[in-house]
Amino acid sequence: MMHDFAVRIGPVGFRVGSDWRAPVAALADLYRDYPAPQDGIADFTVRLFADRPWRRFIRPRVMIGGDYVLPEAAPLSLRHGLLAAEMAMNLQMALGQRRFLLLHAATVERDGRALVMTGESGAGKSTLAALLMTRGWRLMGDEFALLDPESGMVYAFPRLISLKNRAIDVMAAAAPGGRFGPLLADTPKGAIRHLVPDARSIAAMETPARPALILFPTFGHDDAAREVSPSEVFVRLTQASTNYVSLAERGFTALTRLVTTVPARAIDYPDTERAIARVEALWAAL
């Protein structure tokens, strides 16, 4: 028996089928202000299923399935079902997205221009994007930036913002009126809590933006900034893109145009306030 849910996020529609009610109920609640897939047809199908019939009830664990799968992926326990659903949607995009070049980046927008923050996982991109959202920027996404090869514009993909460990407390303080998902303790990556993008970000999700600045933030002890050359940006972005190869020449065109027309900076930051100040200064200097 399937419980199912469907949602559109930016230009991409998903449907999620589940052997259990709980993950679907959590999705339906957190995404309640989002539209449905266009024409009732989802671009990607996700399935959350029990690999053995008794696993639906006894120490239930969630296997991730769908249009695109990673064989050998480890299941999650049912109490982390919401995380499984979010990971599964990420996986469909990572393996199946063919229209837009995917950049692994957190993106915010102001005045029709996009700030694309990319780099290693754990560098704090999601947290910075969420904080900038509370400071008047529109959130376009915290996981993927969608680059349109034909126009060079960045399209929004505003999923639930994934906050880990310390960032949960930071955002609870910074966004007291925000809608948060359940606290998921003891996941493979520590504690995770999702933050729903604000009403303005949801309402504007179909509006693209012109990329204006590429940022490589690194959290640490320093407080510094340097220019990043086009070839370095090119290499780092292809490494961070899961579908560059799949997009063939369109991907090449999109990425070479991006790195030759949009400035890039690497910043080291000791705390989020310094990072935000650095961002505002770089933005003003554009």
Partner 1 sequence: MGRAVTSADGRLLARALADPASTATLDGAGWQALLAMARAELLSAALACRLQGLPMPPAARRFLDDALASFEQGRTVALWEAEMARRALAPLGVPVVMLKGSAFLAAGLAAGQGRFVGDLDIMVPHEAIGAVEAALLDAGWEWVKPDPYDDAYYRQWMHELPPMIHRERDRMIDVHHTILPLTARPTPDAAAMIADSVALENGLRVPSPQDMICHAAAHLFADGDLAGGMRNLWDIHCLIGEFGTEGLAARAVQHGVEAAVARAVRQAGLLYGTDIPDRWRVRGPLDPLFTRRLTARDGWGREARPITRQAFYVRSHWLRMPPAMLARHLWTKWRKRGQPS
Partner 2 sequence: MTSRYRAAPPGAIVAVRLDMLTALYHRASGQTHLLASPAPEILDALADGPLTADTLLDRLRAAYDLIDADAGALAARLEELVDTGLVERR
Q: Name, in order, each residue with C-beta under 8 angstroms of 135's C-beta and a sequence gap of 6 or more.
A: 276
The whole-angstrom separation of Cα 20 and Cα 23 is 7
2 binds partner 1 (CB under 8 A): yes
List the one residue out of 224, 219, 226, 225 whose CA is nearest residue 270: 219
Which of 21, 98, 200, 226 binds partner 1 (CB under 8 A)? It is: 98
∠ CA 80-81-85, nearest 5°, is 120
By CB under 8 A, which span of 61-69, 139-147, 162-170, 198-206 interacts with partner 1? 61-69
Q: Name, in order, each residue with C-beta under 8 angstroms of 94's C-beta and a sequence gap of 6 or more.
A: 68, 102, 242, 243
Contact 240, 105 (CB under 8 A): yes
Q: Name, in order, each residue with C-beta under 8 angstroms of 169's C-beta and a sequence gap of 6 or more.
A: none
Site for partner 2 in 89-108 (CB under 8 A): none
Within its chain, how far is the Cα of 58 from the centroid? 32
By CB under 8 A, which span of 13-21, 115-123, 167-175, 176-184 interacts with partner 1? 13-21
Which of 56, 99, 110, 265 binds partner 1 (CB under 8 A)? It is: 99
The option from partner 2, partner 1, none interacting with 41 (CB < 5 to 8 A, set by class) reads partner 1
The option from partner 1, partner 2, none interacting with 235 (CB < 5 to 8 A, set by class) reads partner 2
The half-sphere exposure of 33 on its side-chain side, counting CA atoms within 13 A, is 14
Least Cβ distance, residue 67 to partner 2 (angstroms): 22
Name which of 234 and 283 has its Cβ closer to partner 2: 234
Question: What pairing do the DSSP bridges indicate for beta strands 44-49 and 12-18?
Answer: parallel
256 binds partner 2 (CB under 8 A): yes
Contact 148, 155 (CB under 8 A): yes
Least Cβ distance, residue 121 to partner 2 (angstroms): 24
286 binds partner 2 (CB under 8 A): no
Which of 175, 240, 259, 262 binds partner 2 (CB under 8 A)? It is: 259
Which of 90, 134, 207, 238 binds partner 2 (CB under 8 A)? It is: 238
Which of 39, 74, 136, 231 binds partner 1 (CB under 8 A)? It is: 39
17 binds partner 2 (CB under 8 A): no
By CB under 8 A, which span of 76-84, 91-99, 171-179, 215-223 interacts with partner 1? 91-99
Contact 211, 114 (CB under 8 A): yes
Strands in 76-77's sheet, in edge-to-edge order, are 3-9, 12-18, 44-49, 61-66, 76-77
Note the residues at the interface with partner 1 (CB under 8 A): 2, 4, 13, 15, 17, 37-43, 45, 47, 49, 65-67, 96, 98-99, 245-248
Q: Which residues bind partner 2 (CB under 8 A)?
A: 229-231, 234-235, 238, 244-245, 248-249, 252-253, 256, 259-260
